[in-house]
Each structure stands twice: as structure tokens, then as C-alpha cells.
């Protein structure tokens, strides 16, 4: 007889907070980088007289280097502080849900152990999650800086217009906002899922059931298809309803071969692991 729990649902509030904090930081960074345009505007006439343009380039390069150093430091500090708080919050939220979702199954003392002391294996998961988030966040600044730097240098070399440059600096900003939003949503789901899976294993739960959320406009066909009850998690006909062993993540994306023969290998993993995947899971007891 198979028993299933209520679903584990990644919380949405931490994703919103994560996104808002990043937006604030990106907004301040873009504003600061726009000061480069000011220098450019001020000196552009002088450059027109100086055929080599060397003087202006040196001036702007120095300003961009200063900005790069300043914002790399700000993003690093924010990333370390924020990622730690974020992951610890996810740990607390996962613990709370586990206790709620599984309280009927574990009327004994086992549930009380969840959350009191963080065991070594969870500490490792948490540490890896923090490091990964720090990287994602600092890369927003690094990418933005490189793009702006490239644009400014191209503009100086080609005598491009200030308007064009200003538009590009804005466009790169918009791209980083989108990226920040996706990181916030994806990380909230992934970190929650990875901590929850590890905690469930500690309670002796071996299996999970995959549930499609039916929330996405364009669901992945493999994820929305009902599992036939017999195909293996390594080669499932569909993921919705699939029961899998926590230690053996199912196939979540088939191998892809592009027209020019480039092979993207198959991916094995858990609900919510792929970008924009809203699938969830329930615990299974047999
Ligand atoms: Zn999915």
C-alpha cells in the first residue's frame, strides 16, 4: 500500500525578496555607470580635435576601471551576506514544511530532530548552495561591466553617438534585471528542493512522487505527460506521477541533437531543477 504526503511547495516570498534586493543593487550600479556618459559628453569635442583619441580613452578607461572595482566589491559583499541569509531561511522554511507535511507519519520524536542541529551532510548542501549563489550574483556585475566596457570602447573607436551608447547601457541593465529575476525564482525552488530531499532522506524516506504543476503556459512535454506506472525513471514515458528513488534522479531532459550534429547530453534531476520548471514532489511511503 503506497501512502503519499501533501506536496512540498517552494515558498514564493523569499524569491520576491531576493529579486527586489538584486534590483535595488543593479539600479544603483546602472546609475553610477551612466556617469561615464557624462565624461564622454564633456570630452567628446576635444577628442574630435585629437585624431588619435588616446587622451579620452585613458580617461574613460580609468573611470570604468574604478567603477568595475567599486561595484565588484559591492556585489561581492552583498552576495556573501544575502546568500547566507537566503539559504538559511530556505533551510528553516523547508524544516517547517517537512514537519507539517509529515507530521502524520512521524508521530515519534524523529521530526523534532529536524532543524535542531544541522547535520554535516546538510551543512555541505547549504555551503554549496551559498557558494553557487554568490557566484551567480557577482557574475551579474561582471557581465554588466564587460558589456558596458565593450560598448564604450567601440563607441570611442568608431565615434559612435552618445545616444546610442546611453541606449546600450540601459539595454544591458534590462538584461541583468531579467537575469536577476530568473536567478531569484530558480534558486528559491532549487535550494528548497535540495534541502528538502536531504532532510527527507534523513527521516528514512526513500521515494518521492513527481507532480506537474500545470502552471506553465508552455510545459515541457516530458514533464506534463502522465507516467505509465511501469517505465523506469531513467527512461520514463512521462514524469507526472512518476515515483522515483531519491538517490536516483529521473531523466528530466532528453538528449538533444542539433541540425549540425551538436549533442546536448540528457539531464537527470529533480522537480524544479530546470529553468522555469514548476513541478513539485510529494513523499512516498510503501
Ligand atoms: Zn517541470
The Å distance, Cα 272 to ligand 1 centre, comes to 6
The Å distance, Cα 31 to ligand 1 centre, comes to 37
Distance CA 239, CA 274 (A): 13
The Å distance, Cα 278 to ligand 1 centre, comes to 5
The Å distance, Cα 96 to ligand 1 centre, comes to 24
Give the number of other Cβ atoms within 10 Å of residue 246's Cβ.
Answer: 17
The Å distance, Cα 223 to ligand 1 centre, comes to 5
The Å distance, Cα 279 to ligand 1 centre, comes to 4
pLDDT of residue 46: 66
Please say whether the beta carbons of 196 and 126 come within 8 A. no
Distance CA 75, CA 137 (A): 7
**Residue owning grid cell 525564482:** 185
Q: Closest Cα to residue 71, out of 153, 159, 158, 144?
A: 144
Helix (H, G, I), strand (E, B) or coil at 268: strand
Helix 35-49 vs helix 162-202: angle between axes, to the nearest 10 degrees? Answer: 150
pLDDT of residue 197: 93
| Residue numbers in the chain where pLDDT is lower than 70 | 44-55, 108-109, 113, 115-117, 216
The Å distance, Cα 214 to ligand 1 centre, comes to 9
pLDDT of residue 77: 96
The Å distance, Cα 211 to ligand 1 centre, comes to 8
Please say whether the beta carbons of 271 and 280 come within 8 A. yes
**Residue owning grid cell 528513488:** 245
The Å distance, Cα 269 to ligand 1 centre, comes to 11
Please say whether the beta carbons of 64 and 152 come within 8 A. yes
Query: 265 Cβ partners below 8 Å, 6+ apart?
Result: 255
pLDDT of residue 164: 87
Q: Return phi, psi of residue 68, to 5°.
A: -60, -45
The Å distance, Cα 188 to ligand 1 centre, comes to 15
Segment holding 126, helix H or strand E = helix 120-158
**Residue owning grid cell 549540425:** 260
Q: Which three cell numbers stand for residue 137?
A: 550574483
**Per-domain residue ranges for the chain?**
10-205, 206-286
The Å distance, Cα 196 to ligand 1 centre, comes to 17
Distance CA 104, CA 249 (A): 26
Global pTM? 0.85
The Å distance, Cα 271 to ligand 1 centre, comes to 6
Query: What stretches of 115-255 adopt beta strand conformation (E)?
Result: 207-211, 243-245, 251-253
The Å distance, Cα 52 to ligand 1 centre, comes to 55
The Å distance, Cα 135 to ligand 1 centre, comes to 25
Amino acid at each position: 500500500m503506497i501512502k503519499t504526503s501533501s506536496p512540498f511547495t517552494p515558498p514564493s516570498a523569499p524569491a520576491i525578496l531576493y529579486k527586489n534586493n538584486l534590483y535595488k543593487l543593479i539600479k544603483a550600479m546602472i546609475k553610477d555607470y551612466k556617469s561615464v556618459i557624462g565624461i564622454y559628453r564633456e570630452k567628446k569635442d576635444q577628442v574630435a580635435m585629437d585624431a588619435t583619441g588616446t587622451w579620452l580613452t585613458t580617461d574613460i578607461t580609468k573611470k570604468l576601471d574604478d567603477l568595475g572595482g567599486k561595484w565588484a566589491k559591492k556585489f561581492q559583499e552583498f552576495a556573501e551576506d544575502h546568500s547566507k541569509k537566503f539559504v538559511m531561511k530556505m533551510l528553516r522554511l523547508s524544516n517547517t514544511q517537512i514537519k507539517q507535511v509529515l507530521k502524520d507519519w512521524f508521530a515519534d520524536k524523529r521530526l523534532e530532530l529536524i532543524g535542531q542541529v544541522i547535520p554535516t551532510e546538510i551543512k555541505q548542501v547549504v555551503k554549496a548552495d551559498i557558494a553557487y549563489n554568490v557566484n551567480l550574483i557577482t557574475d551579474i556585475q561582471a557581465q554588466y561591466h564587460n558589456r558596458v566596457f565593450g560598448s564604450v570602447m567601440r563607441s570611442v573607436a568608431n565615434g559612435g553617438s552618445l545616444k546610442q551608447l546611453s541606449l546600450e547601457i540601459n539595454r544591458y541593465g534590462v538584461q541583468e534585471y531579467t537575469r536577476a529575476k530568473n536567478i531569484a525564482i530558480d534558486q528559491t525552488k532549487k535550494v528548497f528542493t535540495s534541502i528538502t530531499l536531504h532532510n527527507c532522506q534523513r527521516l528514512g524516506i526513500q521515494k518521492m512522487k513527481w507532480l506537474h504543476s500545470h502552471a506553465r503556459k508552455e510545459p515541457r512535454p516530458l514533464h506534463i505527460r502522465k507516467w505509465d506506472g511501469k517505465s523506469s525513471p531513467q527512461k520514463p514515458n512521462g514524469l507526472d506521477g512518476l515515483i522515483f528513488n531519491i538517490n536516483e534522479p529521473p531523466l528530466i531532459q532528453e538528449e538533444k541533437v542539433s541540425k549540425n550534429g551538436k549533442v546536448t547530453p540528457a539531464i537527470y534531476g529533480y522537480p524544479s531543477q530546470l529553468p522555469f520548471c514548476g513541478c513539485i514532489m510529494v513523499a512516498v511511503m510503501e
